[in-house]
A and B are shown apart, each in its own frame.
Chain A
Amino acid sequence: MKAASRILGTAFFLEGYEVQDAPRYGAERRGAPIFAFVRASHDPINERGIIRHPDLVVVADDSLVPVPGAGVMSGVDKHTVVLVNSGDSAEIWKQRLNFEGDVYTLPAEAADRAALRFIGAACAGAAARLLGVIRRDTLADAIRQELADLGADVVEVNLAKALAAFDSMQAHEARVTPIKPGSAAQYQPPDWIDLPFEDARAAAPAIHAGATSVEVRTGLWRTLRPVIDHDRCNRCWWVCSTFCPDGAIAVDPDGRPRIDYDHCKGCMICVAQCPPHAISALSEQAAQTAEKAGASE
């Protein structure tokens, strides 16, 4: 999504806008949720930081939508346009989110997991059409500028993805309507800011004995879950377990790999490395829902 924000930022800039684009990282690890934002205006932009009331929200990974900590829908109102990279229809999302505003989806992108690495360009392309102020040629120029360092082949694939997404939103051109930004003069500073009294244990390390890191369930961080298809696994004994950066894959004596879901953080390196493609990536939310349904039967 950093790529998407940069492509949009550059496209706005090429169209003569003042621009601010910025990514926001949390944990520095593969698979960690990130977001990025873009401001554009014909006037100088003095506001900074996270956008509190977005005109357009673009979601590249729909498994983040139900995660409260991700805050995907925070600050939206009925004027906000939401674009979700999802195979589910816009109507399903509107119901699911209980959301009055416009929702659009990118079903073609969602259907093709192998294309996930180009999702930034596709999102930027669709967003550009929804915004209605970025021309098709400008979008293409922005992609060429932003991705130039990655080589001509990468640029071409991203261009194709972005332009296809741009064209797919033809019926919804210029659906995004900017609202006037609030004035700093209207800001009322609070008289008093409550700082809650925090339990001392909130930050204190609780090390009661050695070799207890296994007690920390880092698997809770996962947004995608790798699942092994044991029929397809060729019992190579070593690839997934060796590439796993967290040592969360063990191999049974008969050669069957087992994933320790209490400690798998969902980086999907095993999915990328498995030679017979025997590991697939499922949305953690969907996997948990399916598990609960299975348990209640």
Chain B
Amino acid sequence: MTRTLLTGNGAAAWGARLAGIDYIPAFPITPQTEIIETIGKWIDKGEMDARMVTLDSEHSMITAAGSAAATGVRVFSATSSQGLLYAMEMLYTVAGWRAPFVLVNVSRGLSAPITLEPDHNDVLAARDSGFLQIHCSTCQEVLDSMLIAYRLAEDERVRLPVIVNLDGFYLSFTREPVEIPEHQAVPL
């Protein structure tokens, strides 16, 4: 176990890494982008064995995530704000497929006018989509919730996609001490 300083975004990326994810359909949006960038860097360095694909929109991204999860691979994706809203139609659809995967939403206010500040109107809009939601209050909870979320999503009695939600700025860009478990301590 290592105790180190991580941002909420860094903790989410570590959660995905420890969960041994296979496939990451991605589309950038602030304040989530650091998660995808971190995972991209790890894949590039050979520290993670996974396939990342950038899609043309969050709508396609969630479609890809749901389709891939239905084939049995472990899928991760992340978005924020308008991105989650753009994906909204497919959130309901892939949850209806009972496709188990984990989506991080880094909460950010919605237009208009443009804002980067955090509020929960994005994730509240997904309340009845069929996705389960875990809301985090510390960077440690982000990492822990990622691992819990995969167990929850993939449980035969559940089989639903899960949103792990963290607040923009207050968690996404804030570093605090986080305990990272050893890889062997996280059974796949």
CB distance from B21 to the nearest CB of A (A): 24
B141 in the interface (beta carbon within 8 A):
no
CB distance from B114 to the nearest CB of A (A): 10
- Do B177 and A19 touch (CB < 8 A)? yes
Closest A residue to B172 by CB, please name it: A22
In whole Å, how far is B81's beta carbon from the nearest beta carbon of chain A?
A: 14
Does B176 have its Cβ within 8 Å of any Cβ on chain A? Answer: yes
Contact B176 A20 (CB under 8 A): yes
Q: Is the CB of B174 within 8 A of A10?
A: no
**B93 at interface (Cβ–Cβ under 8 A)?**
no
CA distance A25 to B33 in the complex (A): 14
Give A13 to B175 CA distance when docked, in angstroms.
11
* Chain B residues, Cβ within 8 Å of A19: 5, 175-177
- Mark B152-188 against chain A: 1 for CB-CB distance below 8 A, else 0: 0000000000000000011001111100000000000
Total A-B residue contacts, Cβ distance less than 8 Å:
37
Complex: A203 Cα to B114 Cα, angstroms: 10
A-B pairs, 8 with minimum CB distance: A22-B174, A203-B113, A21-B175, A20-B176, A48-B170, A22-B173, A13-B5, A20-B174
Given contacts A6-B175, A49-B170, 16 further A-B contacts (CB under 8 A): A10-B5, A13-B5, A18-B177, A19-B5, A19-B176, A20-B174, A20-B176, A21-B175, A22-B7, A23-B173, A24-B169, A25-B173, A48-B170, A48-B174, A203-B112, A203-B113
**Can you list 13 A-B contacts (CB < 8 A)?**
A6-B175, A18-B176, A19-B175, A19-B176, A20-B174, A21-B5, A22-B173, A24-B173, A25-B116, A25-B173, A26-B116, A203-B112, A203-B113
B residues touching A (Cβ–Cβ < 8 Å)? 5, 7, 30, 112-113, 116, 169-170, 173-177
